[in-house]
Every structure is written in structure tokens, then in C-alpha cells.
Amino acid sequence: MIRTEPSKSPRERVVARLMERTVSDLSMLPEEIERDARAIADAMASLHGGEWSIQIDHEAGFVLVRLR
């Protein structure tokens, strides 16, 4: 019998990746989130034009990328 693990949801995969990090690695997460949000804003500007802004609220678990 072949046993396979059930596939994980995107959220479960993110949590698993975070659990593998050390405490010092976690201190870099805000910068990574900022960088990734800026990359999305830049891609949206390239695709749609205009100036795009980002808003990040770590307390609320919220990231917004919007056209200014």
C-alpha cells in the first residue's frame, strides 16, 4: 500500500515554512513582507500604470496594495 500525506492548504504551507525558521530569521519577516508588497506594487504599476502604494498592518494581519 502506498501512503501519501494529504495535500496541505496554502495557509498550512506558509505556517510550516515559518515554523522551520529560527527566531533570528523571524526578525527579518517585516522587511520581507515590505519587499514583497513593494514588488507587487511595482508589478501592478508596470501592468496598469499609475502610482501604487502599500499599507501594512501587522497587528491586523493586513496588507493593502492600491492605486494612489
pLDDT by residue (tens digit) across 16-67?
887 887 766 777 889 999 999 999 999 999 999 999 999 999 999 999 999 9
Helices (H), the chain: 10-19, 23-26, 29-48
CB 8 within 8 A of CB 15: no
Q: What are the residues facing 62 on neighbouring strands? A: 57
CA dist 31 → 5, 19, 28, 35, 66 (Å): 33, 18, 6, 6, 19
Nearest to 39 by CA among 63, 21, 9, 57: 63
Give the model's confidence band at 14: pLDDT under 50 very low, under 70 low, under 90 confident, else very high. confident
pTM, 2 dp = 0.65
